[in-house]
Structure 1
C-alpha cells in the first residue's frame, strides 16, 4: 500500500470534495482502492491464524464505500476523506446492524492510521446483552481489563461519551459500575503512519492481535 500516495489523494479530495474532481481523478482512486483491497486480503489471512472466524470474511465487503450517505447529514460533501475497512465474522460491518465484535482500521488525509477492536455504539438490545455479560462474567471481564498487551497498546477500554448514571435496570454494580455506563466496548489507537509507511501492515496486525482478548470476550455474549 502506497500510503503517501493515498494520503496525497485524500488530502486533495478534502480540498476538492465534489463529483467533477472525483471523476477526473477516478483512475488514481481505482489504483489506490485496489492496493487497499490487497492489504485487507492479507490482513484477513493473517488475522484468521489467531481468529479462525475471520477466514470467511469477504474482503470486498469488508471495505467501506468512499461515497457518503448525505440523506441525514448536514454536511453535503459527497465523499469521505479516509479509506476504511472492518473485519467482522458476521459480515455485518456497520455498528447499527449489531454485527458483533469487529476489527476496524482507517487511513485519513493526514496519514493518520486509526486501529480499533470491539463494538462501537451497538444497538440497544446488543448493548444490554454486553452490560449483562459484564455482570455475569466479572472474572472474565476483569481479565480483559488487565490484559498486558491490550493495556500497553490501547491503554484500556475507551470511556468517551459514557452515561453519567447507570442505565435503567442496572443499579450499583460494585467494581464494574463505571463500565456499565459505557455506550461502546472498544479499544482504539491512532498512529502517524506516514512517518513509517513500510510498517503499516505489521502495525495493524499487531494491534488487532492485542485487541483479541476483548473480541473473544464479546463473542461469548
Structure 2
C-alpha cells in the first residue's frame, strides 16, 4: 500500500503547483517519492515471478520524473500531480509493450498496459500478427476476466479507414485500424490507500500479460 501522506502530498501539489511551494515542501516530496519507489520495488519483485522479463528491472528503470517538460505545452505548471511508473523488459525509456501504473488522487488512479503509438515499422508488424492470428488475438481480448477488468481496447487514435494493404471486409479490420493497443483499469482513493493495492495491481497485470506477450512477439 501507499502511505496516506503520499496521497496528501499529491493533492497539495495539485493545488500549489509552483516552484516556491514545491521547494518549501521538498522534504515532503522526498518522503512521498521514497514511498512510491518502495512500492514500485514491491511490484517488480512480486510480478517478476510471473513475467520473468521484468525480474531484472531496477526502480530507476521504471519511475518517471515528477518534473514536467513545459517547452511545448500550454500548461506551464512545472510539476506533474501524479507518480507514475512503466514496466517493460527494456525499461521506461525503451518503447516496448509493457505495463503502466499511475497514482493521482481525485479519481485518476489507474494501471494499464499495451503499447501507445508504436512507430510505423512496429505498427505494421503488430497489424500483421493480428491479421495472421486473429483467433488467438480475439481469445485474449475477449477472455472473461480480461473483459471484466478492462472492457474494450482503447480506440481513441483509430483510423477512420483500413490501413494500406488491408480491405474493409477483413475480419480483423476494426483492430487493424488501431494505432495504439492499450487497455486500462482504474482504482479508487480507498483502494490505493489499502493493503490490497499490490494484490489488485498484480491481478490486473496478470490479466494483461497475454496481450503484452502477443504484442512483444509481434515486434520481436
Give yes or no for the alignment of 1:216 onto 2:208.
no
Q: How many residues align?
A: 217
Instruction: Tell me the alpha carbon deviations over residues 36-86 of structure 1, each in whole angstroms, 9 at most, x when there is no partner.
Output: 111111111111111100001121220000000112111111100110001
1: distance between equivalents of 2:144 and 2:90? 28
Equivalent in the alignment of 1:204? 201
SS at match of 1:134: helix
Equivalent in the alignment of 1:77? 77
1: distance between equivalents of 2:49 and 2:21? 41
Q: 8 Å contact 1:157–1:187 — kept in the other structure?
A: yes
Equivalent in the alignment of 1:87? 87
- CA, structure 1 residues 111+138, in 2 after alignment: closer, same or farther (shift >3 Å)? closer
Which structure 1 segments of 5+ residues have no match?
Answer: none
Q: Counterparts in 2 of 1:178-189, with a 5 A limit? A: 178-189=174-185
Equivalent in the alignment of 1:193? 189
C-alpha root-mean-square deviation of aligned residues, in Å? 1.7
Q: 8 Å contact 1:101–1:117 — kept in the other structure?
A: yes
Which structure 2 segments of 5+ residues have no match?
Answer: none
Equivalent in the alignment of 1:60? 60
2: distance between equivalents of 1:3 and 1:159? 35
Q: 8 Å contact 2:157–2:178 — kept in the other structure?
A: yes
Equivalent in the alignment of 1:151? 147
TM, length-normalised to structure 2: 0.92
2: distance between equivalents of 1:48 and 1:156? 26
Following TM superposition, the consecutive aligned residue runs of length 4 or more in structure 1 with deviations greater than 4 angstroms are none
Equivalent in the alignment of 1:128? 124
